[in-house]
Structure 1
Amino acid sequence: MSGRVDFSGVQSTMLVTLYLRALESRSEDSILRDQAAVEAARRIDYDWRKLQQPGLASNRFGVALRAKQLDDWAADFLRRNPDATVLHLGCGLDSRAFRLDRPAGVRWFDVDLPDVIELRRELYPEPGDYRTIGASVTDPAWLADVPADRPVLVIAEGLLMYLPTVEVERLLRRITDRFHRGELIFDGVAPWVAGFTQRIPERLRKGYPPYLTPLRGGRDVERWDPRLRYVEDVAVTSQFAKIPDRTVRAVYRLMSRFPALRDWLRLVRAEF
């Protein structure tokens, strides 16, 4: 059993997503099948009853669909580049490094704040070419510890929308300046979603931060960093057919018919 945790702010979101991935993965018809998340949630000394709120459990499907699409893109990149370097930025407690079938030659770095990484090291092993880095992703110094001699896959799940746009631009340009070629996969929220969270009074957000950088479309990456080239994007709601729960599947199907609701959360793949 790890030490007791009670993160706040941006870090609190990683406990919510871990809880939802574990909850979804306990089902026989799981989309994600993240057994490492199930085990991690069991080991953490946290009062999970705080998250047993009406309606929250149904969000497990959106979390699983997002993670599965990013997993599929990551697996595709690693099949084509079995000697790649992976940078999982703002990794939180995600177990993607252990959920994927990584080629033996892959060098993987999970990056997050020092207290998050300290907890990760209690929960997950660090075998072979897997390493953790305890630092803010916006700190330029940590990238110097990552060799730049291989193609790189950059995963930024649940991260870029929380950063000011100027920090998003600086982060991406540091990465593309350092590495010769690679791919970026990430998620982003629509402008109306970001604006809504920014108008919620702090006392009502209960520690959750607002979204600062919205995604108007997949080609925003080319504006953030001219070296990046947009490849494709996917709306999470468009994946409704994979949801086993009939009621939630019907809700996602309905949302997918209206552009504003369909595009509230999109996944983007870019290359350089």
Structure 2
Amino acid sequence: MPPEKVHLTGEKATLLATLYGRALDARSRQPILGDELAAEAVERIDHDFTKTGITTRTAPAVALRARFIDNWAREFLARQPAATVLHLGCGLDTRVHRLAPPPTVRWYDVDYPEVIDLRGRLFPERPGYSMIGSSVTDLKWLEQVPDDAPVLVVAEGLLYYLDPAEGQGLLRAIVDRFPSGQFVFDALSSFGLRLQKLNKPVQKAGATLYWGIDGPQDLEKIHPRLRCVDAVSAFDIDGFDRLSIPHRVSAWIVKALPGMKRTAVFYRLEF
């Protein structure tokens, strides 16, 4: 089978960095996530992944983020085994295969058409699994999704790339469409956005971050039905002992500074 060629720029190209991070983790001596499908995909793509800004020293951080969101998603699906899942800005993430939900779950991966096309060539099909090729902020794609079940919305590494008004409109449209549900995602604060020049994968891709979220109040005001049930600093999640020494030192320093600690946060919202 010939290698898959990719031609992605801007925020679309960052999916190659996160894919590579998960692949490096899978090939490490003690994997955090163990995403074998990611490792296989990297081997099938014709791309110099060393130019993504991800290295063996930074890959564990990618795996830790994915594992944290996976765990929140598992908790929801354990309570709602007939839910609908919207995996927004899915990129080349293999979350549906890692979580392996039962066929009673309707799972939709949503991303730009060229990304969905590449996914279809790289990853196997699953019962109950569908893909939608669209910008997540072009809300017409929602019409393809039944609205008769609780919804889990997963948006890893997405919201900060969105225009704030369009991002808020996306959240409102989902809350209005479904009877109940949960959002799980990571976000950067306004100060975190100002540090984006230090983010090598973002800079290598030529991407720009736009939407800063400074706390639960920014999210709850988007829709009266929304309430924040968890807001966990990225520097408080389990597994930082697996990072390189320079990264652990940086994390310790950040944790000692309250303003810095909230630059990157995992949010869980319910409605």
TM-score by length of 2: 0.91
Cα shift readout 1:41-82 (whole Å, capped 9, x = no counterpart): 11111122323x5x7442222211211111000000000000
Contact 1:2 1:44 in 2 (8 A): yes
CA distance in 1 between partners of 2:78 and 2:138 (Å): 31
**Equivalent pair of 1:240/1:253 in contact (CA under 8 Å):** no
Between 40-49 and 245-254, the greater mean CA deviation after superposition: 245-254
**Matched residue, 2:27:** 26
Partner of 1:50: 51
Mark the CA change 1:218 to 1:30 in structure 2 (over 3 Å): closer, same or farther: farther
Alignment check: 8 A CA contact 1:117 1:132 kept: yes
Q: CA 1:186–1:245 in structure 2 vs 1: closer, same or farther (change >3 Å)?
A: closer
Matches within 5 A, 1:3-18: 3-18=4-19
C-alpha spacing 1:2/1:147, structure 2 compared with 1 (3 Å) = farther
AA partner of residue 179 (structure 1):
F
Distance 1:161-1:267 versus aligned 2 partners, 3 A rule: same
Contact 1:190 1:264 in 2 (8 A): yes
Compute the displacement of 1:28 (Å).
2.7
Q: In structure 1, what residue type is equivalent to 2:97?
A: F
Distance in 2 (alpha carbons) for counterparts of 1:160 and 1:271: 17
Residue ranges of structure 2 left out of the alignment (5+ in a row): none
In structure 1, what is the Cα distance between the partners aligned to 2:132 and 2:169? 19
Distance 2:240 2:263 in 1: 18
Amino acid at match of 1:127: R
- What SS does structure 2 have at the residue aligned with 1:270? strand
Q: Is 1:212 matched up with 2:207?
A: no
Instruction: Name the CA shift for 1:41/1:76 in 2 (closer, same or farther; >3 Å).
Output: same
Counterpart amino acid of 2:68?
Q
Mapping of residues 83-232 of structure 1, within 5 Å: 83-197=82-196, 205-232=203-230
Cα distance in 2 between the residues matched to 1:149 and 1:100: 22
| Unmatched segments (≥5 aa) in structure 1 | none
Provide the rounded CA distance (Å) in 2 between the counterparts of 1:2 and 1:219. 46
Distance 1:259 1:58 in 2: 26
Aligned AA (2:48): D
Higher mean C-alpha displacement, 28-37 vs 181-190: 28-37
Q: How far apart, in 1, do the equivalents of 2:61 and 2:263 lie?
A: 12
Partner of 1:233: 231
Between the aligned residues of both structures, percent identity stands at 42
User: Structure 2 vs 1, CA of residues 250 and 92 (structure 1 numbering), >3 Å: closer, same or farther?
Assistant: same
Closer, same or farther in 2 for the Cα pair 1:17/1:75, shift >3 Å? same
Residue 42 of structure 2 is matched in structure 1 by 41
- TM-score w.r.t. length of structure 1: 0.91
Q: State whether residues 91 and 110 of structure 1, in contact with CA within 8 Å, keep that contact through their aligned partners in structure 2.
A: yes
- C-alpha root-mean-square deviation of aligned residues, in Å? 2.0
Q: Is the 8 A contact 2:11 2:208 kept in 1?
A: no
Cα shift at 1:253? 2.9
CA distance in 1, matches of 2:203, 2:253: 27
Number of matched residues? Answer: 266
